[in-house]
Structure 1
Amino acid sequence: MGKGTRRVAIVGAGMVGSACAYSMINQSICDEIMIIDRTYDKAVAQALDLSHCMEFASTRTKVSAGTLEECGDMDVVILTAGRNPQGMESRLELLEESKKITGDIVNRIMAGGFDGVFVVAANPVDIITYLVREVSGLPRSRVIGTGTSIDSSRLKTLLSDVFSIDPRSVQGYALGEHGDSQFVAWSHVTIGGKPILQILSEHKERFKEVDLEAIERRTKDAGWEIFTRKGNTQFGIGNALAYITRSILNDEHKIIAVSAILDGEYGQRDLCIGVPAIVGKGGIQEVLELNLAEEEERKFLKSCSVIKENIAKLVETA
């Protein structure tokens, strides 16, 4: 990886997989993209449609349709396959069906000799990422979930509106489960390098209408708002996948709030959860341990317990 042709396979030619491929093409992230779907004709159609972007892109990306068994020489395999929630189903209610789909996909990919990095977006992403590691047998560094990367981006966007600044001037993370038990680590949110809690304290009158609890709630619920209005999310998560993949292929060492398998960090083991990590060549190079405030620590432990409970369900039904 990092030399020669950079190859990426995207499993799932639906909204998320297509948005991811489109983002990677427009950002010139890799040299080849292979689209895989259970309906081969759909994969072919998406590959053709995406290949027609090349006249207008800055560089050429070869796009083709393929099969799971052809992933052996891929640097990164992105897993988006799965169904959307129905009605008011939570992400966790997708677990049993996602388990069956993901297990079959990963077994077939590994049988083809894959030895790269998995990037997972299928929900519930924390538990499915853990499953991918268990089924694949790859080192934990080479199995990454999108985790709270998209939630952290939503947080920055919300704060950029409140403070009238570019979201890229905001630093901070939503942590924990990519789901109902996630939370914002306000003690580590900064704007232009200055802690947001200090800003609010020093400018109480100017920012008296700022409600951090409401912002945290909107961050958590943003995906559901989009889903209930149009039936899916695609562009934000598609770009998050592209962003993570770019950091892997280019060895960028970006710090991203991904779903990482912990082995002692934060005092936790044998679970996968959204935390900041350095992402580069070979996947996760280091999990960063934040010094959380007491209330944040409580919320983190609660989120861990939710994820562990659902990981246990995987074992029970294995």
Structure 2
Amino acid sequence: MQHKTRNVAIIGTGLVGSSCAYSMVNQGICDDLLLIDINRERALGEAMDLSHCIDFTNVRTKVRAGSYEECGDRDIIIITAGAPPKPGQTRLDTLGVSAKIMQDVVSNVMKSGFNGIFLIASNPVDIITYMVWKISGLPRNQVIGTGTSLDSSRLKAILSDILDVDPRSIHGYSLGEHGDSQFVAWSHVTVGGKPFLQILEEHKDRFGEINLDEITDKVRKAGWEIYNRKGTTYYGIGNALAFIARSIFNDDHKVIAVSAVLDGEYGVKDICTGVPAIITREGIKEIVELNLTPVEKEKFQQSNKVLKEYMQTIGF
């Protein structure tokens, strides 16, 4: 990949894609932002609107609508196109429609000569990320899904309210599927470097009523709580995409819970699931293998089993 530029394309300019683009422009994350959508007029409208922000930002970002043929020089391609869940559906229920969309999207992108990093938010993100990896033929480090990055952020926000501590001082991850089978690795949650479970043990008078299962359930259902009130979620995931893209361009070596293709890590192969990984200019430098407890290992295996069952429905 060329490292002199910061060229990005966003495929899908619905609420998630446009929120991501807005974050990218406001934060000055890239130099050139290409917007692609099946509805070209929508992409053009978003590009025009975003270009009118530049006078009020610190960095000039060129924003324009374009086509797949222009993807060859992109460093990162962000995919948000897909089928949103209907009332009563889970993210996994959208797989059939999203898989058909992704087949077309990735095939067209690869025809342009693209050899950068795919960053995927389309649901069900773990399976779609695996599919993008297979179709593209790119090395696994260059295909990243948002995974449980947003879920982990939601976990920190919930704990922040409980503990009255800045969420950025809380570290921990929700792992596995970005969906109903995800779980919180409580054995690795820390607050200011101190294990959260130790804090609960030492301060039973203050936190004795805390139920870890209830918190995990709140994390799982946070997206649906928003969905039931406003129809969908987009600010959180849009900013998560921008955050990961910035970490790539800055070669930050940040550890982020993303959807990564496993090849023996955690004793698992041929699956894409939410795990902490070191993010660099080359994509995923290394997957961080946490020393999970026996109970956590069982939950991880169960979550991967759910993903495997759905993967088989589209031939993987």
Give distance in 1, aligned partners of 2:66 and 2:167: 37
Residue 2 of structure 1, CA deviation: 7.1
Amino acid at match of 2:255: I
Partner residue in 2 for 1:136: 136
Shift of 1:3: 3.8
Letter in 1 for 2:293: A
Find the aligned partners of 2:139 and 2:2 in 1 and give their Cα distance. 19
Q: Which residue of structure 2 lines up, in the alignment, with residue 186 of structure 1?
A: 186
Cα shift at 1:4: 2.5
- Alignment-mate amino acid for residue 145 of structure 1: G
User: Structure 1: where are the runs of 5+ without partners?
Assistant: none
1:176 partner amino acid: G
**Counterpart residue type for residue 253 of structure 1:** H
Cα contact 1:2–1:251 (8 A) shared by 2: no
Aligned residue for 1:315? Answer: 315
Match of 1:29 in 2: 29
| Unpaired segments ≥5 residues, structure 2 | none
Q: Deviations over 1:202-230 (max 9, x none)?
A: 11111122221111100000001111111
Residue pair 1:2, 1:250 contacting (<8 A) in 2 also: no
**8 Å contact kept, 2:130–2:261:** yes
Task: Tell me which stretches of 4 or more aligned residues in structure 1 moved more than 6 Å.
Answer: none
Maintained 8 Å contact 2:13/2:46? yes
Per-residue Cα deviation, 1:127-169 (whole angstroms, up to 9, x for no partner): 0000000100000000000000000000000000000010000
Residue aligning to 1:154: 154
Supply the AA of the counterpart residue of 2:146: T
Q: Deviations over 1:98-135 (max 9, x none)?
A: 00000100000000100000000000000000000010
State the AA in 2 paired with 1:257: A
1:165 maps to 165
Offset from partner CA, 1:42-71 (integer Å, 9 cap, x none) = 000000001111111111110000011210
Matches within 5 A, 1:69-80: 69-80=69-80
Percent of counterpart pairs with the same letter? Answer: 59
| Alpha-carbon separation, structure 1, partners of 2:126 and 2:152 | 15
Give the 3 Å change call, closer, same or farther, for CA 137–2 of structure 1 in structure 2: closer
Instruction: Give, in whole Å, the separation in 1 of the partners of 2:59 and 2:67.
Output: 25
Name 1:60's counterpart in structure 2. 60
Deviation string 1:67-112 (CA, Å, 9 cap, x unpaired) is 1121000000000001211111110110010000001000000001
167-176 vs 245-254, which moves further: 245-254
Contact kept, 8 Å, 2:2 with 2:75, in 1: the verdict is no
RMSD, matched Cα: 0.9
Q: Which position in structure 1 is the counterpart of 2:8?
A: 8
Q: Determine the structure 2 residue equivalent to 1:305.
A: 305
How do residues 195-214 of structure 1 correspond to structure 2 at under 5 angstroms? 195-214=195-214
SS in 2 for 1:205: helix
SS in 2 for 1:271: strand
Q: For residues 192 and 153 of structure 1, what CA distance do their matches in structure 2 show?
A: 16
| Conservation of the 8 A alpha-carbon contact between 1:2 and 1:249 | no
One-letter amino acid of the structure 2 residue matched with residue 109 of structure 1: V
Letter in structure 1 aligned against 2:58: S
Deviations 1:208-264 (A, max 9, x none): 222211111000000011111111100000000001111111111110000000000
Aligned to 1:50: 50
Find the aligned partners of 2:171 and 2:250 in 1 and give their Cα distance: 22
**Secondary structure of residue in 2 paired with 1:245:** helix
Helix, strand or coil for the counterpart of 1:178? coil
The equivalent of 2:230 in structure 1 is 230
The whole-number CA distance in structure 1 between the counterparts of 2:2 and 2:139 is 19
In 1, distance between residues paired with 2:286 and 2:206?
39
TM-score (norm 1): 0.98
Distance 1:4 1:189 in 2: 37
